[in-house]
Chains A and B, each alone.
Chain A
Amino acid sequence: MSSSSHYACIYDTRTALLENAIPFIESGLSAGEPVLVVTSAATREAIASALPPHTSGITFEDAPSWYDAPGRAMTRYVTFWRELEAQGATSLRIVGEPLAAPIHSDRLERWEFFENAVNRAVRDYPFTMMCTYDASLEHVAPCCAQVSHPYLAHDGFFIENAAYVPPSVYAQSRIDRPLHVPAQGVAFMQFSQETTGDARHFIQLASADFGLDAFDSFDFVVAAGEAIANAVEHGGGSGSIRLFASDRELVCDVQSDGNENVDPLHGYEPPAPTGERGRGIWMMRQLCDWVELRPHADGNTIRLHKSLPPPAA
């Protein structure tokens, strides 16, 4: 049994939100447990006005900037916790609203993956998490909430969620879906141990061509460099790169020709600050907006997504 627990609160009215969220928050505060609330401005307003004035021990954060990318959102939870832990805290209660920002339907899938991966990534942390979902948002109930939360909050009670799919099973179902590659506009390069530097230069030049600025291009090359190094070190020693633009993002596939198996759930939890190894995949998740790890029969593909700047008006 994990020490963290993860509840979903799917609400259709403000009253339904508050009758679940407020007792959840108050039971934490009364036990002296720090509470982190990461929501939209509207949800924050509703929660704050339902609590006694000057309630202490609660930290409000803005959901759209907190949940800007799945990998970074997870890191923010852990970073927040590490600071509290250093001050002597023994547990943390979180109210989160990952879909608070307007999210395009083609980005929902990654947040569903994130919400599911949370169950694995925070299993060793003393977190009690409640994710609130506005039922009026399209796709919310079937997607993020139902498959990703072991428990549902309803009428002020917690009930076990029969639709919950554990991360290992969920991830397997997701990696079996094929990766879409456009028929045209794909830059391609093969690399080996001797040409990893050339492969990075290729990505750097191409990412500038696709419109990334010097900083974003640098971050993207560093992320891709880890995927390339992975292919050379742990894979068969060679691989290939595909680069293309898709849905307002630059996408880079790094395929390794080897039988290494990547874990699709790897790299969400930040490694300890004192270790020498183990930063690679976590780093990709910090520097990119979405990272997919796809093991397959003859190697694996790491797909990196980086938002492109909006086209000039």
Chain B
Amino acid sequence: MLLYSSSEERTDAVVPFVAEGLRRNDRVLCVGDGIATPSYERLGSLSRDALRSGQLIVENSAHTYMRGGHFSGSRMKAHYRAAARLAQAEGFGGLRIAAEMSWAAHAQAQPLLPLVEYEATLDQALHGESVTVLCEYDTRLFDTAALKALEQAHAIGARPDPLFASHRLRIERAYSPNGLALTGELDIAARGALHAALSNVIAPGIDRPVVDLRALSYIDAGSLGALVAASERSARGIEVVVNARIARLLRALRTTLPPSLEIREAGDVL
């Protein structure tokens, strides 16, 4: 299950999921409200060729989940089971489904209870078939209670791939608010990755990136310099969110930090 809060976040998670399926010779099924395929642009020729060959199939939720104007869990399970068998018969390695679920929020009669029941039993219904399903929920469209119930119905949560991961450091793109989240130890070994990640969020459409450093257990002078340089490049600066130790560190160093780097102390997440 993917919980996303911007189309960018969704794209960053779904494109690699689809691309991986195409690479592995899976049949890939994208279902949604006309926004089913996440981004032909980012998939490039891979998606064009796959659409032509039938490896990639796009379905509309109005003809699947809401066929005949109402949702039926058992019909959907049967639909996916049949699709899995067809994929196998056509020589694909397996079936990968990326299902955008906004239709459930837009449906006239809220199918929440049957939907939660369907989500909770889907794994069981597809047992024995080679199927991977990614259900995508836009957190802006569902209320907290609904999202919680839906989350409990999924065994695995999905997130976009990190921008950088080593045994000491992880840099992830954050979407709400837009920025980065860093975990581990930030030193010279990751300097290039840090520069690249910062360039990624100092971009048109991102007003003022927020860089979450709460889960950092180490930061060096050069990384601090990279944050300073990024804050100077960003039209409205950047905001860094820090734990108590880094907050004290930055207070001690504040005479060498520009106003474009705004520091906000928040709870420790270590």
A binds B: yes
Which A residues have a C-beta under 8 Å from some C-beta of B? 72, 75, 78-79, 82, 196-197, 200, 214-215, 218-219, 221-222, 225-226, 229, 232-233, 270-280, 282-283, 286-287
When the two chains form their complex, are residues A276 and B187 in contact, meaning their CB atoms are under 8 A apart?
no
Interface residues on chain B, size class: 20 to 34
With CB as the reference atom, state the residue of chain A lying closest to B217.
A218
- Chain B at the A interface: mostly helix, strand, loop or mixed? helix
Which B residues have a C-beta under 8 Å from some C-beta of A? 168, 185, 187-189, 218-222, 224-226, 228-229, 232, 244-245, 248-249, 252-253, 255-258
Which residues does chain A contribute within 8 Å of B228, judged by CB atoms?
Answer: 273-276
Which residues does chain A contribute within 8 Å of B224, judged by CB atoms?
Answer: 279
When the two chains form their complex, are residues A283 and B232 in contact, meaning their CB atoms are under 8 A apart?
no
| Listed residue (B221, B232, B245, B249) with the most chain A CB atoms within 10 angstroms of its CB | B221
Which residues does chain A contribute within 8 Å of B221, judged by CB atoms?
Answer: 226, 279-280, 283
Which residues does chain A contribute within 8 Å of B248, judged by CB atoms?
Answer: 215, 219
Alpha-carbon separation in the docked complex, A280 to B187 (Å): 12
When the two chains form their complex, are residues A214 and B256 in contact, meaning their CB atoms are under 8 A apart?
no
Alpha-carbon separation in the docked complex, A270 to B221 (Å): 13
With CB as the reference atom, state the residue of chain B lying closest to A194.
B189
> When the two chains form the complex, which single residue of B218, B225, B244, B256 contacts A222, counting CB atoms closer than 8 Å?
B218
> When the two chains form the complex, which single residue of A75, A79, A196, A271 contacts B187, counting CB atoms closer than 8 Å?
A196
When the two chains form their complex, are residues A222 and B220 in contact, meaning their CB atoms are under 8 A apart?
yes
When the two chains form their complex, are residues A279 and B256 in contact, meaning their CB atoms are under 8 A apart?
yes
Alpha-carbon separation in the docked complex, A173 to B42 (Å): 64
When the two chains form their complex, are residues B249 and A273 in contact, meaning their CB atoms are under 8 A apart?
no
Which residues does chain B contribute within 8 Å of A270, judged by CB atoms?
Answer: 255-256
Which residues does chain A contribute within 8 Å of B244, judged by CB atoms?
Answer: 215
When the two chains form their complex, are residues A273 and B256 in contact, meaning their CB atoms are under 8 A apart?
yes
List 27 A-B residue pairs with CB atoms under 8 Å apart, sorted by A's residue number. Answer: A72-B252, A82-B255, A197-B185, A218-B249, A219-B249, A219-B252, A222-B218, A222-B249, A225-B187, A225-B220, A226-B220, A226-B221, A271-B256, A273-B228, A273-B258, A274-B228, A274-B232, A275-B228, A276-B228, A276-B229, A277-B222, A277-B225, A279-B253, A279-B256, A280-B220, A283-B221, A287-B252
Which residues does chain B contribute within 8 Å of A275, judged by CB atoms?
Answer: 225, 228, 256
Which residues does chain B contribute within 8 Å of A200, judged by CB atoms?
Answer: 185, 218
With CB as the reference atom, state the residue of chain B lying closest to A274.
B258
Alpha-carbon separation in the docked complex, A82 to B256 (Å): 11
